[in-house]
A and B are shown apart, each in its own frame.
Chain A
């Protein structure tokens, strides 16, 4: 297994149906954002449901609110929206080995949200997860895991064969913000020994 570490000054992950004047950010990216990142790295649409496994951990160092002027599509008017963004972001992706080449030379720019949330590849390394009791946070897990967090329906992957893109797989998740001081519950889970955190490996295939 390999781990890719991405870094970005800012990141923002919109709640799927909050599209109004104020846009809060989810504390961690939804799976569909990971789909976007993997697709950009590889240069073609990637479907998470076709990967044998995928894990991710997202950290950030704070939250801010940006004021944006928006040019309304197809109209001369502009509008102002407030958008929350996360500051000083790091995303760790746990992927099969063959992903090394795509992240060594990503085909398109990698984004943690919008085009202004540009990310760089900070490190690619092989990693061996260790099975043990660990805290799990900074990610999303299935509701069935029963860990307390924020419950929310999220798109796992979009179908990009149609225009506009459409949701292909949607699931309710528990969103666990990165906040290790807050979590006490430990679960038996593959663990990244460097981060001292559990990595939930999603398997949407089959």
Chain B
């Protein structure tokens, strides 16, 4: 096989694979998931607009309908501002610039998009040209080719492929980040560029209190069914009311993501290998208006959320409430959910422990069931099942000891554990409890020396799993069993007040 043959073979670049009116060939469809969040967002929009779930199923008429829809939508109120935040002011394909807007018509937008799509198809036929750095399949499109395809005035047309036509690609003015300061901008093919023009229909838009666009949220998920599931809400809104999807009025992208994830009706197995990453960005015209924040939802967190929703939804909601500095009551909950950053969410995203939020020390009450705690410890913190069972048994023996005490003494002992901030204080609690067992005549010891050593030293190298983890698990067990006794009588109210446990820096 000669070089050409090899190349053709490698990329399946044969004319017969071009899109046809009935649909694409399954072997080499023109549209594919690339793994790039932005082109995949555009592809999601195309799929959802045509009610299809696989890119191979897209036929030319689906593209036609999507082009028709987008060109109408983008001229409507509200959308032009959005376009300027996604593509900057100078996207000549979608005629974003106010000077272009004046003469923009649906026909003109439609024609630009169509020509771009034609370019995307032709691109398959020229295997020798440089390859797109996004899909790795097609030859790149040049600014000059684009110029011929669009309706704006000569001076407004692009010379290069930049952030004007593909989000966050930078400006043509600062070429430092293109290899060798390339005049022609980034290496992107017409197909990826075409998909990128549908990003607005595949994104959530977060607004500030004053109604200004704060950021664009693109959710990128795998498997693809999950991707479509997470963005389908956007499309239905655009289709039914021609409105930008404002993420239900949320101003906090992370809170919105958690809300969406909780609504998923997937099973743990389905989520086993799922991935969700979100890109929150702005690509505006001024310095400081171009930024991106990558929000990665770790897979164990996804599974924990699903489990929590199924098994102990109230427990999970209590835990989330603890993540705001002031715990919101029911009326305030929605307002907090939409507007205020939550520590439980950020800890979960950053891989820090939320164990302390399973109990409310000020009320001496548990927020969730032991089983949710158990799932969290083993699936997210990575605590061994045996270790967890062992700590639970120790907790039960502590409960068995303390419940024999009169209420005042009981509270005093528990306070000792609550206040243990240093390892020696933690040790002292065990020694005292052991003495107590002896004086109460309980035959079995609290634990053996080996067990004592095990509880004090960490479980594994992970910082999340230390004696402080054990302390919170024990407190959970104690509150779970002795809450009523602990809360009896008000004489301690002021004493409790002096301990500021809420929003503590070092939770574990």
Q: Which residues of A contact B (CB under 8 A)?
A: 14-22, 24, 70, 72-75, 79-80, 82, 143, 146-155, 158-159, 162-174, 177, 179, 181-182, 184
Contacts and interface: CB of A to CB of B under 8 A. Distances in A.
Interface in B323-361: 351
Contact of A166 (B130, B135, B169, B289): B130
A73 B432 CA distance: 71
A181 B378 CA distance: 11
A143 B130 CA distance: 24
B35 A143 contact: yes
- Minimum-distance CB pairs A-B, first 3: A170-B136, A172-B35, A20-B290
Contact of B178 (A19, A80, A82, A159): A19
Contacts of B273: 146-148
Contacts of A171: 35, 136
Interface string B209-227: 0000000000010100000
Contacts of B222: 143, 148, 151, 174
Interface stretch (B181-189, B406-414, B474-482, B491-499): B181-189
A163 to B, nearest CB: 6
Given A151-B277, A153-B36, A170-B134, A17 B180 contact: no
Contact of B287 (A19, A80, A164, A173): A80
Contacts of B132: 167, 170
A182 B462 CA distance: 10
Contact of B181 (A24, A74, A150, A181): A74
Contacts of A24: 292-294
A167 B133 contact: yes
Given A19-B169, A21-B288, A152-B35, A72 B174 contact: yes
Q: Is the interface of B mostly helix, strand, loop or mixed?
A: loop
B505 interface: no
Contacts of A165: 179-180
Nearest to A155: B133
Nearest to B381: A181
Given A72-B176, A167-B187, A148 B136 contact: no
16 contacts: A19-B177, A21-B287, A22-B292, A73-B175, A148-B272, A152-B35, A153-B133, A153-B134, A155-B136, A164-B180, A167-B130, A167-B136, A170-B132, A174-B222, A181-B462, A182-B351
Contacts of A18: 168, 292
A151 B166 CA distance: 19
A21 to B, nearest CB: 4
Contacts of A74: 175, 181
Contacts of A167: 130-133, 136, 187
B134 A168 contact: no
A134 to B, nearest CB: 15
Contacts of B175: 72-74
A181 B351 contact: yes
Contacts of B177: 14, 19
Contacts, number: 146
B226 to A, nearest CB: 11
A51 to B, nearest CB: 17
Contacts of A168: 131
B178 A150 contact: no
A143 B134 CA distance: 15
A10 to B, nearest CB: 18
A24 B174 CA distance: 18
Interface in B370-395: 379, 381-382
Interface string B133-166: 1111100100000000000000000000001001
A184 B287 CA distance: 42
A173 B36 CA distance: 10
B283 interface: yes
A163 B130 CA distance: 11
Interface in B9-54: 33-38
B275 A151 contact: yes
B74 to A, nearest CB: 22
A75 B173 CA distance: 9
A74 B177 CA distance: 13
Contacts of B169: 17, 19-20
Given A182-B351, A182-B382, A164 B292 contact: no
Contacts of B187: 166-167
Interface stretch (B63-71, B93-101, B296-304): B296-304
B258 interface: no
B170 A172 contact: no
A181 B458 CA distance: 14
B275 A150 contact: yes
B452 interface: no
B133 A162 contact: no
B252 interface: no
Nearest to A152: B35
A73 to B, nearest CB: 4
A50 to B, nearest CB: 14
A179 to B, nearest CB: 6
Q: Which of B140, B274, B292 has the most chain A CB atoms inside 10 A of its CB?
A: B292
A14 B177 CA distance: 10
A164 B294 contact: no
